[in-house]
A and B are shown apart, each in its own frame.
Chain A
Amino acid sequence: MARKITYQQAINEALDQEMSRDPSVIIMGEDVAGGEGSPGENDAWGGVLGVTKGLYAKHPGRVLDTPISESGYVGAAVGAACNGLRPVAELMFIDFMGVCFDQIFNQAAKFKYMFGGKAKTPVVIRAMYGAGFRAAAQHSQCLYNVFTHIPGLKVVIPSNPYDAKGLLIQSIRDNDPVIFLEHKALYTMEGDVPAESYIVPFGEAAVVQEGDDVTIVAMGRMVHYAKEAAGNLRKKGIQCEIIDPRTTSPLDTDTILESVERTGRLVVVDESNPRCSMASDISSFVAQEAFGALKAPIQMVTAPHVPVPFAASLEDLYIPSPARIEEAVMKVKEYR
């Protein structure tokens, strides 16, 4: 039975249902319970923005508050995954991945390959990402491209509550390490979500809306900006097809190529910085695989190659806007 819940509730529900289904699923992180073992409420906080609130009471002993030591508890989660648990580690902000990067890219991602396929590492690392919160350069980055670059990791960036729940359930059941990234601006977004458990498979892009004139590939929060732009463009008679890859590793290249082969025009919208980004990666394989179909140079709408500014006026300029997406679509549409 579908009903409307928020992105944040969808994530909480996925964790709750998987913990009920599988006793090996545990949660670890800073303040994920937020009071555990201290006098008063055991479940006072539920993570920095309250995403895991309520889970301690339902699954006592399986929501573990950790010291403020990302390298320690992410390493512990990776080790626990190798030994039969399915830990979901919450890392607050993706910007903190740096302090535990060895555990992620050189250990978790590599065990299966270093041990001849005999080890599996079913760990999920959840983190918030994205700009727009006046949180400055150390709490606002995207960085999904960094993890996408590393073979052995799977990278998930849900753009709506339905996908958030189904992709998180798939992430927990998956036997490989998964980086699961939640955009802060989407936590309050409401959408239809079935009460039942369900999965959204990895590597299957969503076609958010169909159109024959221009293909827009957009991720995370940018999907919604692309929809806003496409709504305005429709009034000008331009029909945009919007594709949300949902997972950047594995990446559903087929759906993107099939669309570009039909429209001949591509705009990639990526909140990340442009060098070595998903935008440049998607542009590159489309240029290689569908060059003959292209009627105009591919346009990338991204943040500039600078750290996220703290000044509000500059941060607003930094984030790709619906207006810039519209401009890019007009540019590919009007080319020749």
Chain B
Amino acid sequence: MSAIHTVTMPKWGLSMQEGKVNLWLKEVGDTIDPGEEIIEVESEKISGAVEASVSGVLRRQVAQPDEVLPVGALLGIVAEKGASDADIDAVIARFQAEFVPPSADDADSGPQTQTVKVGNVEVRYLKLGEDVAGKDPLLLIHGFGGDLNNWLFNHSPLSESRAVYALDLPGHGSTTKVTGVASLDGLAEVVIGFMDAVGLECAHLAGHSMGGGVCLAIAKRAPNKVKSLSLIASAGLGNEINGAYIDGFVAAASRNALKPVLAQLYSDESLVTRSMIDDMLKFKRLEGVDSALATLAGGLFAGGRQAEQLASAAAGKPTLVIWGENDRVIPSSHATAIPGATVKVMPGQGHMVQLEAAGEVNKLIGEFIG
């Protein structure tokens, strides 16, 4: 019997319980390769595409646009050419008969974030995927004002063949809001401590924006802990940065102030939903966040200039540089700062390219780290 695969409603983030079907990106009969985007789905927080994990032909579109379905519900069927309609119908019937939607009580099931103490900093992180012999783990490091959810569309797909960690940097997400860290090296010190604490001797590092700068600072401080560097719209590779964005982000205290600031991150500004803005405000209103962000911004990006240049730290490390061509925070002209790096500048994309073009970014990183 030819293989028949189900495509199901993904779980993006710990709180997602259901999603709305926006539109199908593939028609019935289309051939599909792993990593290709099949269907666009919207959670309360964000919309994105579901990628194929297998190859085959899209044989059924079970879910219809505008339908709201629980996490894990059947969206469609991808199968090999030889699969018969009767077999496919049987798979669908069996799935629907056996599918139990997660109840609100199950919201806490599935992968859980953990915390580990690094000095006086309690670092929150999420580990997905299994440790695989011969495959060094991957560590994902978010940017300024972000958290581990910035990797929502990357973390799980990249963890199919290795362990992948994502953490919240000091002052960010649910990690301790320490103040006083004002350099990439200061952040790198905590991340190196984190790697030691969770037993990561050597890892592939992927960083977005300021997180890219942190990756470079780690490579400089502890080169033996770094297998490779995947730098996305990275800091540390040139002088310029959009100072209005940084200052606006630090200062914004209301929805109306924050919305136009966040819009600069995306090529598709409609991605900046009310729920995204509300979540960001909730973060910014935690005691200590304001001063942590202000200190960091003052140390790294004062006056719209980047204080630290770290391109030379990549020397001797396999390096992949990814950038959105229309990045409005850090210009894509910085993409060529590292000699010998593999460079991919993606047309039409903005600063949050790992979210907006997750499929392509996942493919690039997956192939690069092997």
B170 CB to closest chain A CB (Å) equals 14
Query: B29 in the interface, Cβ–Cβ < 8 Å?
Result: no
A139 CB to closest chain B CB (Å) equals 32
Query: B115 in the interface, Cβ–Cβ < 8 Å?
Result: yes
Knowing A1-B115, A1-B124, A1-B174, the reply to whether A207 touches B274 (Cβ < 8 A) is yes
List which B78-137 residues lie within 8 A (CB) of chain A: 115, 122, 124
CB neighbours of B115 from chain A (8 A): 1
Complex: A24 Cα to B148 Cα, angstroms:
38
Does A197 contact B287, Cβ atoms closer than 8 Å? yes
Does B68 contact A196, Cβ atoms closer than 8 Å? no
Q: Which of A1, A194, A200, A206 has the most chain B CB atoms inside 10 A of its CB?
A: A1
A206 CB to closest chain B CB (Å) equals 8
Query: A289 in the interface, Cβ–Cβ < 8 Å?
Result: no
Instruction: Say which residue of B68, B253, B288 sits within 8 Å of A234 (CB atoms).
Output: B68
Knowing A1-B124, A2-B174, A204-B254, the reply to whether A198 touches B282 (Cβ < 8 A) is yes
Does B282 contact A196, Cβ atoms closer than 8 Å? no
Knowing A2-B174, A207-B274, A210-B274, the reply to whether A198 touches B68 (Cβ < 8 A) is no
B224 CB to closest chain A CB (Å) equals 32
Does A200 contact B274, Cβ atoms closer than 8 Å? no
Q: Which of B255, B275, B286 has the most chain A CB atoms inside 10 A of its CB?
A: B286
Knowing A1-B115, A2-B174, A210-B274, the reply to whether A196 touches B287 (Cβ < 8 A) is yes
Complex: A184 Cα to B331 Cα, angstroms:
54
List which A231-269 residues lie within 8 A (CB) of chain B: 234
CB neighbours of B142 from chain A (8 A): none
Complex: A170 Cα to B285 Cα, angstroms:
11
A-B contact count (CB 8 A): 33
Query: A199 in the interface, Cβ–Cβ < 8 Å?
Result: yes
List which A166-182 residues lie within 8 A (CB) of chain B: 166
Knowing A1-B115, A1-B174, A2-B174, the reply to whether A198 touches B274 (Cβ < 8 A) is no
List which B160-196 residues lie within 8 A (CB) of chain A: 174, 177
A158 CB to closest chain B CB (Å) equals 15
List which B30-74 residues lie within 8 A (CB) of chain A: 68
Does B174 contact A198, Cβ atoms closer than 8 Å? no
List which B264-292 residues lie within 8 A (CB) of chain A: 274-275, 278, 282, 285-288
CB neighbours of A166 from chain B (8 A): 285
CB neighbours of A198 from chain B (8 A): 282, 285-287
CB neighbours of B177 from chain A (8 A): 196
CB neighbours of B278 from chain A (8 A): 206-207
CB neighbours of A196 from chain B (8 A): 177, 286-288
Flag A111-148 by CB within 8 Å of B: 1 or 0 each.
Answer: 00000000000000000000000000000000000000
Complex: A210 Cα to B282 Cα, angstroms:
18
Complex: A194 Cα to B173 Cα, angstroms:
11
CB neighbours of A200 from chain B (8 A): 285
Other CB < 8 Å A-B pairs besides A1-B115, A1-B122, 8 of them? A166-B285, A196-B286, A196-B287, A196-B288, A198-B282, A200-B285, A201-B253, A204-B254
A-B contact pairs, 19 of them (CB 8 A): A1-B122, A1-B124, A162-B282, A194-B174, A194-B282, A194-B286, A196-B177, A196-B286, A196-B288, A197-B286, A198-B282, A198-B285, A198-B286, A198-B287, A201-B253, A201-B285, A204-B255, A207-B278, A210-B274
The 9 closest A-B pairs by CB, nearest first: A197-B287, A198-B285, A1-B174, A198-B286, A196-B286, A196-B287, A199-B285, A207-B274, A194-B286
